[in-house]
Amino acid sequence: MEINAARALTGAHSCFVGIGLPSTAANLARRTVNPDLVLVYESGTIGSRPTRLPLSIGDGELADTADAVVSVPEMFNYWLQGGRIDVGFLGAAQLDRFANINTTVVDRGPDRPEGRLPGAGGAPEIAANCGEVLIVLRHTRRNLVPALDFVTTLGHGTGPGDRAALGMRGAGPTAVITDLGILRPHPDTAELELTTLHPGATVEQAREATGWDLRVAEGLTVTEAPTEAELSALRALKGAGRRAA
């Protein structure tokens, strides 16, 4: 999953990176498919070149290796809202068929309080202002749900035109990378469909792990297996991260 997420950053200039899987993928991309990728973290760092995986977006390593460190208001107002970042890379707790994201609360049924998630963080404006958005998450029915319990971050709303009607810039989510494959919005309906399977995964498995009736794209492809270089870069990155943590 991390390797495919990293490959999705081929050709991007700059990436606004969330912590966790997106950060692993973006750092791996810099070591494999895109050495010149400019990593931007919401803690204020632009152009970080960490030698290990940061545990937090504010690890000193990110600031020490950055081209520039800016304040948080500057990051959100000038760089993000200013439309200067190509790709926003997000994780999600819940995702629906139009790539809308919930990271706020989950409904746990009657007589039980809402389950609390971390909240919005930078995501609503990352998804609204970057040229495009990539999402990485594990492929389970708990994560890919028929309806969100809460809309934290708009992806494609209820279909084509919703983003434009709201005056949102950029293409919105263009790929959802999971551990089973890659989902992309259908050009006409904006509904996510399975376009790529990872080696070893099956269509049935992906459909079983999706909370809605997952469509499969014509011309479904299979991901190229990870290369030895990619695997060793990932191992080195994770190994260094563990030692430092």
Partner 1 sequence: MADIRSLHDAVGDLIHDGDTVALEGFTHLIPFAAAHEIIRQGITGLTLVRMTPDVVYDQLIGAGAARKLVFSWGGNPGVGSLHRFRDAVENGWPRPLELDEHSHAGMANRYVAGASRLPFAVLRGYRGSGIPGRTDTVATVTCPFTGEELAAVAALNPDVTVIHAQQADRGGNVQLWGLTGVQKEAVLAARRVLVTVEEIVDGALEPRPGSVVLPGWVIDAVAEVPGGAHPSYAAGYSVRDNDFYQEWDAVSRDRDTFARWLDDNVRKATR
**Binding of partner 1 at residue 12 (CB under 8 A)?**
no
**Binding of partner 1 at residue 150 (CB under 8 A)?**
yes
**Binding of partner 1 at residue 244 (CB under 8 A)?**
yes
Site string for partner 1, 155-194 (x = CB under 8 A): --x----xx--xxx--------------------------
Closest distance to partner 1 from the beta carbon of 151 (Å): 5
List, in order, residues 6 or more apart from 167 with CB less than 8 Å away: none
Q: Based on CB atoms, which residue is closest to partner 1, 225 or 245?
A: 245
Closest distance to partner 1 from the beta carbon of 147 (Å): 13
What stretches of the chain adopt beta strand conformation (E)?
A: 14-17, 38-41, 45-46, 68-69, 87-90, 94-95, 101-102, 105-106, 115-116, 132-136, 173-177, 181-185, 192-197, 215-222
CB 12 within 8 A of CB 37: yes
**Binding of partner 1 at residue 76 (CB under 8 A)?**
yes
Calpha distance 239→245 (Å, rounded): 10
**Binding of partner 1 at residue 240 (CB under 8 A)?**
no
Enzyme catalytic residues: 42
From the list 50-58, 184-192, 193-201, 226-234, the region that binds partner 1 by CB under 8 A is 50-58
Calpha distance 25→2 (Å, rounded): 5
Q: Based on CB atoms, which residue is closest to partner 1, 59 or 206?
A: 59
Q: Based on CB atoms, which residue is closest to partner 1, 53 or 197?
A: 53
Beta sheet of 87-90, edge-to-edge order: 68-69, 45-46, 38-41, 14-17, 87-90, 132-136, 173-177, 181-185, 192-197, 215-222
**Binding of partner 1 at residue 59 (CB under 8 A)?**
yes
Residues 35, 40, 41: CA angle, nearest 5 degrees? 130
Residue ranges in contact with partner 1 by CB under 8 A: 19-20, 42-45, 54-60, 63-64, 69, 71-73, 75-77, 80-81, 100, 104, 113-116, 118-125, 128-129, 150-154, 157, 162-163, 166-168, 244-245
